[in-house]
Amino acid sequence: MAESAISSLRAREILDSRGNPTLEVRAELSDGSWGWAAVPSGASTGKHEAVELRDGDAARFGGLGVLKAVANVNRVIAPALAGMPANDQEAVDRKLIELDGTVNKSRLGANAILGSSLAVAHAAANQMGIPLYHYLGGWDSYVIPVPMLNILNGGKHAADATDFQEFMVVPTGAESFAHALQMAAEVYHSLKSVLQGRGLNTNVGDEGGFAPSLKSNAEAVEAILSAVEKAGYQPGRDCFIALDPAASEFYQDGHYVLSREGKVLDRQEMVEYYVKWADLYPIISIEDGMAEDDWEGWQLLTEKLGERVQLVGDDLYVTSVERLTKGIELGASNSILIKLNQVGTLTATMAAVRMAQHAGWTAVVSHRSGETEDTTIADLAVGLNTGMIKAGAPCRSERTAKYNRLLRIESELAGEASFAGMKAFNNLKSRPDE
Ligand code: PGA
Ligand code: ZN
């Protein structure tokens, strides 16, 4: 048997950062090398995502247990993968898809499939004695992504908060990743004192950002801009703002309902809202500005803002090459969010990144709101030179684990590493800092 042949896969139910069950998988190879991965979980899940298999047994974890997915790894996937070469990821992922046999991965569960796919990749990299980013991207992996840090949480990630889900700071003006992370952490702490100064709550939401009860979305942006200045940086030069309104969550009967602000907008008015914001604030990126099936709204937004603002499809594309193909044909955005568990295999995820890059778009590698200590996304971002990552606030270990992994990669690559900074936004015709 070849040294890299898969000998066993073992799954287990563990907890994620919200205290909900998820699964981890350990893959072992015939020479004793092994790899480990754990699966994240979303809250504002897109309706076109692959299925996360939950037990539905109300007697355990309120129905959220994942013992069925665990059993699918141990009893169905492990025997089928045994003997396959771990370093043929495409063949492993093809096998996983065949075993499942459904379009949306509902039989085995995208969680069971992803845990297996990633554990095998980690094992193969370990067997070869190389870091995962080099295993995934070859020797041409050297771009350290600019981080997009969600320092103010709303929507489904916080109680009694803004309609928009995420308000991020993007330290594009940094000289290195380590410097970017330092700037972001300084802004984060400065935001805490800005909020405290206004008598607002500074407890944190699911992704580590503060979750104050604000009256409007604009108030959130303004608090961040004050925090940037207070930390000694210039908005629109050193730091930009990125938003993830997660618009599918407030799209009702063909309208965008901003209940906090008492506004009900049609698609045209929603687009105008963003255009006004882009004129008013240093906004470099808007993710899910429009709802997941409002293709016309997306086209309109891209027509109006696509030259100067990165427009990222998350629920719109769900990391699927089929939906991305449609988006590229329609000119529906200029960027895609990449979440491994939306599609379920490493191969399919990498195909989506490459398709976006070939189209001249960007790909933003992303965590989920429910996370674990797994840091695969840091390696994926470097491996594929995406130039961008979003992994939450610089707070809560499941978030900082990804950023800390990037610190280690940056020093490991030493002179070869190139920090993306503003260069990452190569999808924009007019760069906002010029
Ligand atoms: P989710 O949120 O992980 O809860 O889906 C993240 C996002 O919308 O980007
Ligand atoms: Zn999103």
Q: What is the pLDDT of residues 291-311, one digit of tens each?
A: 999 999 999 999 999 999 999
Q: Could you tell me the distance, in angstroms and rounded to a whole number, from the CA of residue 157 to the centre of ligand 1? A: 8
Over residues 85-110, the mean pLDDT reads: 98
Q: Could you tell me the distance, in angstroms and rounded to a whole number, from the CA of residue 290 to the centre of ligand 1? A: 15
Over residues 30-35, the mean pLDDT reads: 98
Q: Strands, DSSP E only, in 123-181? A: 143-144, 146-153, 166-170
Alpha carbons 404 and 349: distance in angstroms, whole number: 23
Q: Look at the alpha carbons of 288, 292, 294, 295 in this order and tell me if their dihedral is positive or negative.
A: positive
| Confidence grade of residue 159 (pLDDT, cut at 50, 70, 90) | confident
Q: What is the pLDDT of residue 201?
A: 95
CA of 40, closest atom in ligand 1: 3
Beta bridge partner(s), residue 204: 210
> How many CB atoms are located within 10 Å of the residue 232 CB?
11
Ligand nearest to the CA of 367: 1
Ligand nearest to the CA of 205: 1
Instruction: Give backbone dihedrals phi and psi of 418, rounded to 5 degrees, phi first.
Output: -130, 120
CA of 157, closest atom in ligand 1: 4
Pull the structure tokens for residue 261.
């602000």
Catalytic residue among 24, 28, 186, 207: 207
pLDDT digits (tens, 9 = 90+) for 329-341: 999 999 999 999 9
Over residues 54-62, the mean pLDDT reads: 98
Quick check: 195 and 201 in contact, CB under 8 A?
yes
Q: What is the pLDDT of residue 115?
A: 99
Alpha carbons 114 and 119: distance in angstroms, whole number: 8
Quick check: 407 and 178 in contact, CB under 8 A?
yes
Q: Could you tell me the distance, in angstroms and rounded to a whole number, from the CA of residue 89 to the centre of ligand 1? A: 27
Catalytic residue among 339, 371, 402, 410: 339
Quick check: 141 and 50 in contact, CB under 8 A?
no
Q: What is the pLDDT of residue 1?
A: 58
Q: Which of 22, 44, 336, 364 to mutate to test the pocket of ligand 1 (most atoms within 8 A of CB)?
A: 44
Quick check: 417 and 403 in contact, CB under 8 A?
no
Q: What is the pLDDT of residue 434?
A: 66
Evaluate if residue 395 carries a pLDDT over 70. yes
Lowest-pLDDT range of 12-26, 121-135, 154-168, 375-389: 154-168
- Angle at which helix 321-330 crosses helix 295-305, to 10 degrees, equals 50
Alpha carbons 208 and 157: distance in angstroms, whole number: 10
The answer to whether residue 322 is catalytic is no
Alpha carbons 75 and 65: distance in angstroms, whole number: 17
Mean confidence (pLDDT) of the chain: 97
| Confidence grade of residue 160 (pLDDT, cut at 50, 70, 90) | confident
Over residues 223-241, the mean pLDDT reads: 98
Evaluate if residue 170 carries a pLDDT over 80. yes
Evaluate if residue 156 carries a pLDDT over 90. no
Q: Which of 52, 168, 368, 399 to mutate to test the pocket of ligand 1 (most atoms within 8 A of CB)?
A: 368
Pull the structure tokens for residue 432.
């906002």
Alpha carbons 368 and 40: distance in angstroms, whole number: 6
Q: Which residue has the tokens 């008013």?
A: 280
Evaluate if residue 399 carries a pLDDT over 90. yes
CA of 45, closest atom in ligand 1: 5
Q: Could you tell me the distance, in angstroms and rounded to a whole number, from the CA of residue 156 to the centre of ligand 1? A: 9
Over residues 397-421, the mean pLDDT reads: 97
| Torsion on CA atoms 312, 318, 319, 320, rounded to nearest 10 | -120
Q: Could you tell me the distance, in angstroms and rounded to a whole number, from the CA of residue 368 to the centre of ligand 1? A: 5
Evaluate if residue 34 carries a pLDDT over 80. yes
List residues near ligand 1 (CB under 6 A): 42-45, 244, 246, 314, 366, 368-369
Alpha carbons 167 and 153: distance in angstroms, whole number: 7
> How many CB atoms are located within 10 Å of the residue 304 CB?
16
Ligand nearest to the CA of 45: 1
Q: What is the pLDDT of residue 158?
A: 84
Q: Which residues contact 66 (CB under 8 A, 6 or more apart)?
A: 13, 21, 22, 23, 53, 54, 55, 109, 111
Instruction: Give backbone dihedrals phi and psi of 274, rounded to 5 degrees, phi first.
Output: -70, -40
Q: Which of 339, 340, 377, 389 to mutate to test the pocket of ligand 1 (most atoms within 8 A of CB)?
A: 339
| Closest CA relative to residue 51, chosen from 314, 249, 342, 246 | 342
| Closest CA relative to residue 16, chosen from 35, 43, 34 | 43
pLDDT digits (tens, 9 = 90+) for 193-219: 999 999 999 999 999 999 999 999 999
The answer to whether residue 207 is catalytic is yes
